[in-house]
Structure 1
Amino acid sequence: MSAREREVTATPATPSQPYTPSVPCAQPVPRQLPRRAPRFRAGRDLVALVLLPLPLVALVLPAAFAGGGTRRWFGGRSESQRAEAQAAKDAAAAAFYELDTAQRDLRISIETITAVDDTPPARRAVADFEALGRRIDEVSHTYISAVDAHDLDRDDLEASVAAHARTELTRAKDELGRVKQELDRFEQGLGPLLGKAETQLARLAPAVERARQSLLAASNALDAVRATGLKADDLAARLAALAPELTKLNQGAGQHGVPETLERADRVARDAGAVRAEAERLPERATEIDRRLVSLRTRAQALTTRSGQVNPVLSELRRRFVAACWQDLQQVPDQAAEAVRQAEVKLAEARVAREEQRWADATALLSTVRALLNTTDEAVSAAGDRLRRLNEVSKDPQREIERTRFAIRDAQRLAMAGRNTPDPRQARPLDDSVARLERAIGSLEGRHPDYWHFLTELEAVRGTVAGVVSQIREERGAGA
């Protein structure tokens, strides 16, 4: 056996014993070579094996395969599978993170909607999100199980195990991605509901602040009015009634709901604004009540004087015209006196209310006084107006006749405009008006004609004709 053969046989290549040459050296040999030395030695040992006889090769071969050469041949494939599995694990982790982030963001949107909206579409969106949450829990459990089942950092990780891990992690990543797409589509469908909810939430803080500022302004206005010596007890009571509403506003929308809080804030702002406006107008209102008290008192005194002139008017009507011309005016003097008396009583009550600064009562009483005086004024004026009109028609009834005939002829021309024959719906009332006019004219014949009946008949005829004219114009206007 040659010296080379004895060297190879004496020093088999094993992982636990580094290769050292048998040739003596002047310098001591270190106990461990650099990291790449075993691989270089393994290749050289294989060359030496070729030179050995077959029996020696059989003895040396197992030891050679037990050394560093084995780790290189099979470890390269295992490391490749490990790297691919690790990449699949990283991709699955990224997909899991994206899905978790999207779910958290979407949960905020759902909470925004539920805080504002309780309609069936909103409740349906909440139910769909819960169903998606269960689906997300399933795929997340699958991903976590796949990660826990495979330790990719083990030194003895086999290639087949790494490949299996890569397959499971890739499948988990794909499931996470599909659920993420479902979540994205669901989020797109929430657009209208979310926009409506965000709009209401954006209104919430400004609305509550406006309500608070309105209450403060009303309180300040009330203090300013009281400083002038005017009472405002009713306004103070209305402002105090808003205190519980302010408490609920301060408790927030989380306790009472966004829609209810918005409605409450608007109502408080509106009511407080009304109190402030009335408080600011109160000095002017007091002045106005004082002015009306004086004005209505003067008017009541004037009507007392005028109502005393009704009896002479009635006396002349009785003397010159038939009873039908004045019978409905017989009670005017007594009615006028009673109305003036009631007005004076209400005026006294209004004056007391003003002194006690019961502004609403004073205003209501003055309105009653004004209505009584208006009615009395009309009744007193009616007697004098009746005498004037009867005097005019008794002297010249032809004026009223011509006025009525002109109205009838004008309506007849309008009804025939653009037509050969009139519409029966319009011709009939016009023909009846002509006959009615003739009968009214005939009623003037005799020794004591009823001029009042004559006047009222002609007024009724002119009213009927005016109705026909209005109907014609409306129909032609609609046809145009």
Structure 2
Amino acid sequence: MSAADAVASRCGAAAGARGRQRQSRPGGRAVRDTLALVLLPLPLLAATLPAAFAGGGTRRWFGGRGESVRAEAQAAKDAAAAAFYELDSAQRDLRISIETIAAVDSSPAARKAAADFEAFGRRIDEVSHQYITAVDAHDLDRDDLEASAAARARAELTQAKDALGNAKTDLDRFSQGLSPLLDKAETQLARLAPAVERARQTLLAASNALDAVRTAGLKADDLAGRLAALAPELTKLNQGAGQHGVADTLQRADRVVRDAEAVRAEAERLPERAREIDRRLVSLRTRAQALTTRSEQVQPILSELRRRFTAACWQDLQRVPQQADENVRQAESRLKEAQRAREDQRWPDATALLSTVRALLNSTDEAVSAAGDRLRRLNAVSKDPQAEIDRTRFAVRDAQRLAMAGRQKPDPQHARPLDDSVARLDRAIAALEGRHPDYWHFLTEMEGVRTTVARVVAQIREERGQGA
């Protein structure tokens, strides 16, 4: 029971006792007055009758002013009671808000709000005690109530009412300041039930998808294990936010939805995944066979390169045939392992092995293609190196024109690499004049010059774009 509850109970008990006292008093007085009239001697009876008819008993009357003060005191008492009720109701409502915030929010702001509310509670206990003391100290229904006592009662009750009202005003202001925290907490509470239900439904959907896959004859042991790992989380969701907290329950529900949805999606994709693995097995096996045939053609290409060009043009390709054979053998071995994994329905293993096979075959394909491409390019440049020279000169001159556009002289950071590129181009051309020119070096130099020039052009355009 809160402090306000205790105060209300105490006030109710006190008021009930006073009510019972008032109900019993008039009847007892009537009996006593009747007995007095019967037992009094005749002369005294004659003297008493006028007084009885005039006022009734021993009640003391103090005129219109006295009755006015009594009425004012009673009005003050009623106003104080109303203020007490309003403060108690406001405290009860605010306690619900504080408990709502505390159930959801553990931030420093929420903890401070709870502490401030406790401080308000102590203040409310004080003003409530002041009110109860004032009520208990003055019985406004007494027949012999003095005007001065009624005035004191009015003053004390008015003071208690003002204290209760001030506390209520401050409590309302405090309550208004809690709106952001309360809105956030209520939003999370509103999410709670739908989030938990969504988690349950997602788990059910994942379980149904897993059953359908197994009915189709496919294994899904890894998915079943992942789904089983969510069982403890479901248990905690069923235990509710009262035991685990609203924030943790919301996070748990979101996590269950995410993980269960992933299991469901993978289970539904599993039949297609099996078909895709079957297709890849056939495709990669065919590609490995084709690369075996192509790699056999590398040796004749190397022989021609050795016969017609200097060693620098083909030395880096010497190990291509051997590396191609090794890669193809490894790829075929991994394909057999992937086939066994597919038969055992170890889907992740099969997928990983096929990725390894693809990487091996890609590397082999590039190496075999490089040998043929090298011979083609060397044949072309040995017959007509001028085409490569013209292509590179055009790139350099185009970059020089761009560097001079709108300027009297080019920026040194642009001119220097362009000048170096011109010198590099001239050196590469001069190297072709020997008896056994290194055409591969010439081609790589031309490509290097064009790369440098392209970088300078990109830099110029970026700088001018920023300046615009």
Deviation at 1:78, TM superposition (A): 3.0
| Residue 166 (str. 1) matches residue 154 (str. 2) | yes
Which residue is equivalent to 2:442? 454
Name which of structure 1's ranges 197-206 and 265-274 shifts more when overlaid on structure 2. 197-206
Mapping for residues 361-372 of structure 1, pairs under 5 Å: 361-372=349-360
Answer yes or no: is the 8 Å Cα contact 1:415–1:427 preserved in 2: yes
* Counterparts of 1:274 and 1:68, CA distance in 2: 91
Quote the offset at 1:361 in angstroms. 0.5
The match for 2:142 is 154
Matches within 5 A, 1:432-471: 432-471=420-459
Larger radius of gyration: 1
Q: Counterpart of 2:30?
A: none
Please state how far the C-alpha of 1:71 moved relative to its aligned partner: 6.6
Contact 1:343 1:373 in 2 (8 A): yes
Q: What amino acid is the match of 2:251?
A: E
Following superposition, the deviation at residue 250 of structure 1 comes to 1.0
1:437/1:461 contact within 8 Å kept: yes
1:292-307 pair list within 5 angstroms: 292-307=280-295
CA distance in 2, matches of 1:205, 1:141: 42
Aligned with 2:48 (options 16, 30, 36): 16
- Tell me how far 1:79 sits from its aligned partner: 2.4
| TM-score using structure 1 length | 0.86
Query: Displaced runs of 4+ in structure 1, greater than 4 A?
Result: 10-15, 67-73
SS in 2 for 1:151: coil
Residue 373 of structure 2 corresponds to residue 416 of structure 1: no
- SS state of the match for residue 48, structure 2? coil
The structure-2 alpha-carbon separation of the partners of 1:289 and 1:334, relative to structure 1 and needing over 3 Å to count, comes to: same
- Map of 1:268 onto structure 2: 256
Taking structure 2 as the reference length, the TM-score comes to 0.88
The letter of the residue matching 1:16 is: T
Q: Please say if residues 78 and 157 of structure 1, whose CA atoms lie closer than 8 Å, have aligned partners that are also in contact.
A: no
Pick from 226, 239, 254: which aligns with 2:242? 254
CA distance in 1, matches of 2:325, 2:47: 137
How far apart, CA to CA, are the structure 2 residues paired with 1:452 and 1:70?
136
Alpha-carbon displacement from aligned partner over 1:243-267 (angstroms, at most 9, x marks no partner): 0011111111122122211111111
Gaps of 5+ in 2: 1-41
- Distance in 2 of aligned mates of 1:374 and 1:201: 55
Deviations 1:34-59 (A, max 9, x none): xxxx55xxxxxxxxxxxxxxxxxxxx
Q: 1:222 to 1:70 in 2, by over 3 A?
A: closer
Q: Would the alpha carbon gap of residues 72 and 172 (structure 1) be closer, same or farther in structure 2, given more than 3 Å must change?
A: closer
Q: Which moved more, 1:293-302 or 1:190-199?
A: 190-199
1:402 equivalent in structure 2:
390
Note the C-alpha offset of 1:77. Answer: 3.2
Residue 226 of structure 2 is matched in structure 1 by: 238
Q: Secondary structure in 2 aligned to 1:444?
A: helix
Residue 12 (structure 1) shift: 11
Query: Could you tell which deviates more after superposition, 78-87 or 99-108?
Result: 78-87
**Partners of 1:15 and 1:68 within 8 A in 2:** no
2:10 corresponds in structure 1 to none
User: Shift of the alpha carbon at 1:68?
Assistant: 7.2
Q: Which amino acid aligns with 2:160?
A: A
Change (3 A) 1:467 1:295: same
* CA distance 1:92–1:442, shift in 2 (3 Å): same
Aligned length in residues: 427
**Aligned equivalent of 1:339:** 327
Higher helix content, 1 or 2: 2
Shift of 1:98: 0.6
Cα separation, partners in 2 of 1:466 and 1:13, compared to 1, 3 Å? farther
Kindly report the root-mean-square deviation, in angstroms, between the aligned alpha carbons of the 2 structures: 1.9
User: Which amino acid is the alignment partner of residue 344 of structure 1?
Assistant: E
Secondary structure of the residue aligned to 1:16 is: helix
Aligned to 1:380: 368
Counterpart position of 1:130: 118
Using the TM superposition, give the Cα deviation of residue 375 of structure 1 relative to its aligned residue in structure 2, in angstroms.
0.3
1:114 aligns with 2:146: no
Does 2:461 correspond to 1:473?
Answer: yes
Gaps of 5+ in 1: 1-9, 20-31, 33-37, 40-66
In structure 1, the partner of 2:337 is: 349
1:27-42 alignment, distance < 5 Å: 38=53
Q: Note the alpha carbon deviations across 1:200-253, whole angstroms, 9 max, x for none.
A: 111111111111111000000001111111111110000000000111111111
Looking at structure 2, the residues matched to 345 and 262 of structure 1 have their Cα atoms a distance apart, in angstroms, of 49
**Of 310, 315, 325, which residue of structure 2 is paired with 1:327?**
315
Question: What SS is found at the alignment partner of 2:171?
Answer: helix
Q: What is the rounded CA distance, in whole Å, between the counterparts of 2:398 and 2:70 in structure 1?
A: 109
TM-superposed deviation, 1:383: 0.4
Query: In the alignment, is residue 198 of structure 1 matched against residue 186 of structure 2?
Result: yes
Instruction: Give the conservation status (yes or no) of the 8 Å contact 1:415–1:423.
Output: yes
Instruction: Please say if residues 14 and 68 of structure 1, whose CA atoms lie closer than 8 Å, have aligned partners that are also in contact.
Output: no
1:292 and 1:366 in contact (8 A); partners too:
yes
Counterpart of 1:22 in structure 2 is none
